[in-house]
Amino acid sequence: MTPDTSIIQQLVSGIGVPNFVVLIPEILVLITAFTIFILEMVSKNRKLITVISMVGLGSAALFLFVISSGIFYMLLNPNAIPEIRNTPFYSFIIANFLEQYVTLYNLYVVDIFSLIFKFFLVISTMWVIFHLRKYAEGKKTYFGEYYYLIIFALLGMMIVVSSPNLISFYIGLELMSIALYILIGIFRKNYPSKEGAFKYLIIGGTGTAIVSYAIAFIYGATGTFDFSEVMKAAFSEEVNIGLLFGLLLLVLGLALKASAVPLHFWTPDAYEGAPTPITAYLAGPSKIVTYAVILRIMVEAFPYLSDYWSYGWAILAALSMVVGNFIALRQKNVKRMLAYSSIAHTGYIVAAMAAPTGMGFAALIFYSLVYVFMAIGALLFLAIFERFEGWTNHLDDFKGLARRNPIMSLIMLIYMFSMLGIPPTVGFIGKLGVLLALIGSDIWWLAVILIVMSIVSAGYYLKVVANMYMYEPVKNISFDISLSEKLSMGILAAIIIYLGIYPTQFWQISTTLSSLLVSSIGS
């Protein structure tokens, strides 16, 4: 053995070899992004680009589903573990996730929490890509760059949700944000698109700077970037002003990314100006990854400072619910109305952080995952109709729609009812979970605000429904909606109804994820 070989072996044994098996979903997403990037330069076959994107992401989603469902089965059925351990499937795949779930030198964690969120991120991204080509061609603004930018943003989201370290979290956040800045402003010769992108770039860049300063203060106070080490430092030492100030800046930076009031000013213009499928991407995947990382950082890094951050999130939640709902009432453009609605929903979801208990965390997980179906459903509905000449997303465009297109009107009604929180839609279960968590923690003032603001939101959600069903058409617009588009929208609506009637299993998943997060405290 040569001296050089001996040194290399010592280095490898010292730092370890990454477990690339657990990175298969990320590798598939990265390969898909680069494949589309190269293909877009040499071929203009739009259908091929769409198909490759869907196949690549579908492969990653299938892998995530098989692994997460296998692990959940073992968690919920511990008596079956001995039998499963003897199968080739366990030894080849699941063992890597259960026994070697930390990879890349403690900068990246692959656990059941991240696997579930990644699955929903990939699936919702596929839904957006499925509707993208027809929309872009109908608006005469097709670019191949749409696809690989969306997929690179997805990769950034996957990094963020798997980050147990402030450095890897920051890297993923930057990758996601930069791709989204470009996607918002990609509309050709469209001033609102450029305005929205510019505002998001400036305000989002400010948010990134705030997060950078937060990381610096936290590192200065604890001497580490690792969540678990930050937790130990916060527990073993007296809380100093540097750590608290770092926590404050981190909460503000994350609140800006989640578009919580008063850090929401980029949201309406970015949502309205962006291509509508990209708006769906902003309201769906980019929102749920923010909620996931808020929960992960607060629970894994600052559980012993919950008295501080729970009150901060309560204030942000209350402001978001009040401002988002009251301004949404004044909107005549439904796309802009949904932008303010998303701000209100940020309030509903992060209100669960005001109750730092297992119930509160489970409510946040449940609501954030089911919200993606409502958000992308309503906005992709608008994307379908925007292709037709004369449709402007104004409330008047919805008048008499039930007579001209009863199927799509029924689907939109389900989306609106779910966002409002009317049973038997899953939106009702989501709000009920947060409400029970607040009541269980005796945070009555925030629970009352949630109930009152949900009633206020009926003023604009039901306005859309009333226009569809209680008025005669005022515009003579010809609609040619394909069967695949109706089926896609119908599946989302069916999921919303199904989870509203049978939420037990999905709630059990959320409770299990919450329990695993809480059990990591002090470990």
Strands 102-103 and 108-109: antiparallel
The stretch 125-151 carries a mean pLDDT of 86
Q: Classify residue 339: in a domain, yes or no.
A: yes
Task: Report residue 202 CA to chain centroid gap.
Answer: 22
In this prediction the pTM is 0.89
| HSE (side-chain half, CA atoms, 13 Å) at 40 | 17
Q: Classify residue 245: in a domain, yes or no.
A: yes
Strand-pair partners of 226: 165
pLDDT of 105 reads 66
- Enter the DSSP assignment of 274: S
182 CB-near residues (< 8 Å, 6+ apart): 145, 149, 197
The whole domain housing 441 covers 17-519
DSSP letters for 342-363: HHHHHHHHHGGGGS-SHHHHHH
Q: Classify residue 287: in a domain, yes or no.
A: yes
Q: Classify residue 3: in a domain, yes or no.
A: no
Whose CA is closest to 438, among 428, 446, 429? 446
Q: Classify residue 375: in a domain, yes or no.
A: yes
Q: Are 32 and 57 in contact (CB under 8 A)?
A: yes
Domain count for the chain, please give it: 1
Instruction: Give dist(CA 21, CA 96) in Å, integer.
Output: 7
Instruction: Give dist(CA 246, CA 242) in Å, integer.
Output: 6
Over the stretch 203-231, which tens digit does the pLDDT of each residue have? 888 888 999 999 999 988 888 888 888 88
Q: Classify residue 153: in a domain, yes or no.
A: yes
Asked whether the predicted pLDDT for residue 404 surpasses 80, the reply is yes
Across 434-472, b (16+ Cβ under 10 Å) vs e yields bbebbeebebeebbebbeebbebbbebbebbbebbbebe
Q: Are 300 and 234 in contact (CB under 8 A)?
A: no
Mean pLDDT value across the chain: 85
Instruction: Give dist(CA 418, CA 429) in Å, integer.
Output: 9
The stretch 321-344 carries a mean pLDDT of 93
pLDDT of 100 reads 45
Q: Classify residue 369: in a domain, yes or no.
A: yes
493 CB-near residues (< 8 Å, 6+ apart): 377, 410, 411, 414, 415
Over the stretch 54-111, which tens digit does the pLDDT of each residue have? 999 999 998 888 777 766 666 666 555 555 555 555 555 555 555 445 556 678 888 8
Confidence label for 159 from pLDDT (cuts 50, 70 and 90): very high
Q: Classify residue 12: in a domain, yes or no.
A: no
